[in-house]
Chains A and B, each alone.
Chain A
């Protein structure tokens, strides 16, 4: 039986809860804690996970391993793009390939593979897990994305860095992962040039997220303020086929 006191207490609790959620949503939006695919029922879970992990992972580094722990088996998911353009670049050993970097940057630029290899490099041995469940450890060599962002002078207005590959799997990172020291534009794997199946000539490696965030076969990188106008506006190809934009899990 509901007593008057209980009714008042419940009413106050409900009002406090509703106000609390509204305040939390405004704060989350101001601090960039709502992911581009944060709408709908599943979006509630996406937002809670993204916000919680952004708060606790600030500045944290993914685990790194020794050469002895590198996996003998490093499976490849999907084939290299079959487009005529990619096949032609691949046949020419990517000497004609260029990476375009534009969007909200002071100096829109284009880099050849040789240009990128002249920049200070970083090698790291990290664990990469596929959302399907399998995983491997490999050594990745490349330019930290932050170096390239500094070279082109990325604007303070930029909230995402978008990656356009030669296939359909475009994606984007927030600035926390874009500036992260372990986020590489990788051209080498296990001491050799990046194999075709692993994303030749250049892929991004995002150490603190699942494998599908590490876009292969890069063609263009753009800094943007909003991802609303790209694709379905959900931040990447993944949510368009039912997966999360943020994959720190």
Chain B
């Protein structure tokens, strides 16, 4: 038997037909990534129109604040495009997230890859417990929280479901929690990109773009 016909112990043959990330995960990952960055930039543009945070129903200059962010008040010209971009990308991200979660349940992606206690975390290509918990928290806690607190700031939506804002203690509380949830997403983003870089940026990027080969996932 020639060497060329023998299946190698490690190498591309092993993972052919079984990419590290499914097509749906890759598409929703990048749609989410670009939407998130756009939402972050536009969110900052909106925040700069009034960089003070309050607790309760109301808050304004002249009333007591919870936090005065060390940022300038930018009243002219930035929040208009900021708001339009923010609301457009909210639709993109909520649609993408909904598709990802529905598919993740249907294909058992959450159960197989993210729920703790499945698979051996020493195997290549398997997430560690901390990674699993971080991903699950972002998908099932922080993302719903930021959608909820966004909707709770809408006078039209709260006219239909007053409990959305009532449960948070008021419209300004919703705004403040929205800001804090955004902070958690930024923290996740920084740690995630750092881990990807340390694990081998090119390899991991290629895995998320084209499917890619084995190795520990990040």
Contacts and interface: CB of A to CB of B under 8 A. Distances in A.
Interface residues of B, number: 38
Given A73-B62, A134-B60, A134-B61, A248 B157 contact: yes
Contact of A249 (B47, B77, B154, B162): B154
Given A129-B153, A132-B50, A244-B84, A208 B172 contact: no
A61 B57 contact: no
Interface of B: 46-47, 49-50, 52, 57-63, 75, 77, 79-81, 83-85, 87-91, 153-160, 162, 165, 171-172, 175
Contacts of A45: 84, 87-91
Given A48-B91, A248-B154, A249-B156, A242 B60 contact: no
A133 B46 contact: yes
A208 B154 CA distance: 8
A116 to B, nearest CB: 25
Interface of A: 41-42, 44-46, 48-49, 53, 56-57, 60-63, 65, 69, 71-75, 127, 129-137, 207-210, 241-244, 248-249
A244 B75 CA distance: 16
B58 A208 contact: no
Nearest to B92: A45
A145 to B, nearest CB: 17
Nearest to B172: A135
B96 to A, nearest CB: 14
A65 B89 CA distance: 33
Given A62-B159, A127-B58, A210-B155, A44 B46 contact: no
Nearest to B86: A45
Contacts of A131: 49, 79, 83
